[in-house]
Amino acid sequence: MLRQLAHAARGVSVGARHLLLMLAPAGLAAQQLRPPLTLTEVVQRLGRSSPMIAAARASADAARARIGPATALPDPRVQFAVMNRMLPGLTTMSPLAMDQLTVTQMIPIATRRASAHTAELRARAAALGIETQRFALRRDAAIMLADWWQADASRAVMDDTRGVLRESIAAADAMYRAGDASQADVLRMHAELTRMTAEWTRMDAMRYSAAASLGAMLDAPLDPDSVRAELPTALGDGTLAPNRESSPGVMAAQRAADAFAADEVVARGMRWPELEVGVQLGQRPGTSERMVGLMAGASLPVFANRRQKQMIEEASAMRRMADAEVRNVVAENRAGIVEARAALERARELLRLYDSTLLPQLSAVRESADAAYRGGTGKVEPVLLALMAVNDARLARVTARADEVRALARLELLTGRAWFAVPLPAERAP
């Protein structure tokens, strides 16, 4: 009876199982039962609740509100004076007694236009800050989804491998009972199953951690046993050369540098006197005699070395600092694009190699080793090595697929263009 069981185990075809190992992303039949969490849904929820977008929007509103004060004239000054009254009692017996109303207006000719331009540039930079936050949130959401999907898919790969190991253990045990295999073969397979279970446990913890990170971002708990992460779809093949100048981060830094340059123009304009005009109305108490006076004056920068000159030096230093920051942002952006594109090309090349060459070859090796062992001409080590090779290759393919999404998510922020068929978070909460 035992020999019959052994021969039956040898005759089990493994082709269909290895085809599943090669092509199916691991345990997906069970995964499909869970509803998917897509990047579109995550982005929509972030647009409604993200404090970062709300803060960027408030900053942009504040910057726009500064344009009006920058373009408006200073408030006029109004003075009322009672002059030449007698003491005590403030009587009007003196012929020089007079009541006066004076209105003066400062007209900042040299600085008004530059101040308005500065405010407009800072408003544009703040508006670009909203765009930067929207791209940054979509990048973070896509990367977190990729982390979750990778842990989930890797766990499912290990589920499949453990299932194959259990089948191999059953076959080896039957062969051992029939005298066609050693007890060491069975123990060796059990040890490999235990090691795989430990890896499965570690990946399961990573799955919960990734779901918790995304849930914290959404301010809502996510249960990976009830919902699964779904990777976004890329637009096109992603081979077009990106334009770094379209990056909202680069453009915001450039607008901020332009605003500091305008600040320097304002500071240099303060070296010139500011015009002040006024009108004065007077009336002698108790009479109908009225008088009018016109005034014109200017501020005198007599302390220019201690005030205006120092303000110019400060503005010039801030402009140089902003220019240096722009160069740094551009350099980091350029390096980030190169790095992300290299990661994207590497991930796609690995996916092509795994799907077209490596996984089919490893699957064939695994089938051959399994058939030899079940036929009594092979050993258990090649079987386990081949099975682990298929398992590792499938895990590497999962990683490459997740890396592809991560690279595209980084490219979105660095290039300022959409690489996923997913809308950005709403600029204004509904």
pLDDT of residue 245: 53
Question: Is 359 within 8 Å of 401 (Cβ atoms)?
Answer: no
Residue of 273, 292, 267 whose CA lies nearest to 282: 292
Give the pLDDT confidence of 167-202 residue by residue, as tens digits.
888 888 888 888 877 888 889 889 989 998 999 999
Q: Write the pLDDT tens digit of every residue in 66-108.
A: 888 888 888 889 998 887 777 776 676 667 778 889 999 888 8
pLDDT over threshold 50, residue 327: yes
Average pLDDT, the chain: 82
% pLDDT > 90, the chain: 29
Q: Is 191 exposed, middle or buried (0-12, 13-18, 19+ CB in 10 A)?
A: exposed
pLDDT the model gives residue 220: 84
The pLDDT assigned to 32 comes to 53
pLDDT given at position 364: 92
Give 272's Cβ-side CA count (13 Å radius). Answer: 13
C-beta atoms surrounding 140 within 10 Å: 18
In this prediction, residue 147 carries a pLDDT of: 94
Q: Tell me which residue of 396, 390, 356 sits closest to 17, measured CA to CA.
A: 390
Global pTM reads 0.75
Tell me how far apart the alpha carbons of residues 345 and 147 are, in angstroms, rounded to a whole number: 19
More confident residue, 74 or 110: 74
Q: What are the boundaries of each domain within the chain?
A: 2-68+111-270+307-415, 74-107+272-303
Give the architecture (CATH level 2) of 74-107+272-303: Single Sheet (2.20)
| CB neighbour burial string for 3-16, b if at least 16 within 10 angstroms, e if fewer | eebbeebbeeebee
Q: Are 236 and 42 in contact (CB under 8 A)?
A: no
Radius of gyration, CA atoms only, the chain:
38
Mean pLDDT of 220-229: 88
Q: In the prediction, which pLDDT does 3 show? A: 39
> Looking at the domain that runs over 2-68+111-270+307-415, which CATH code has it been given?
1.20.1600.10
Query: Please, which contacts does 238-241 make with residues 24 or more away whose CB atoms are closer than 8 Å?
Result: 238/344, 238/408, 238/411, 238/419
pLDDT at 194: 92
Q: What is the pLDDT of residue 83?
A: 78
Q: What is the mean pLDDT of residues 371-397?
A: 88
Task: Check residue 202 and give its pLDDT.
Answer: 92
Cis peptide, bond prior to residue 108, ω within 30 of zero: no
Highest mean pLDDT among 89-93, 289-293, 402-406: 402-406
Q: Which residue has the higher pLDDT, 26 or 265?
A: 265
Q: What is the mean pLDDT of residues 117-143?
A: 88
pLDDT of residue 26: 44
pLDDT at 397 over 80: yes
Query: What's the confidence (pLDDT) of residue 354?
Result: 93
Question: Any idea which residue has 């064939």 for tokens?
Answer: 364
Under the banding of pLDDT at 50, 70 and 90, the label for residue 25 is very low
Give the confidence band of 238 by pLDDT, cuts at 50, 70, 90: very low
Would you say the CATH fold of 74-107+272-303 matches that of 2-68+111-270+307-415?
no
3 state SS of 337? helix
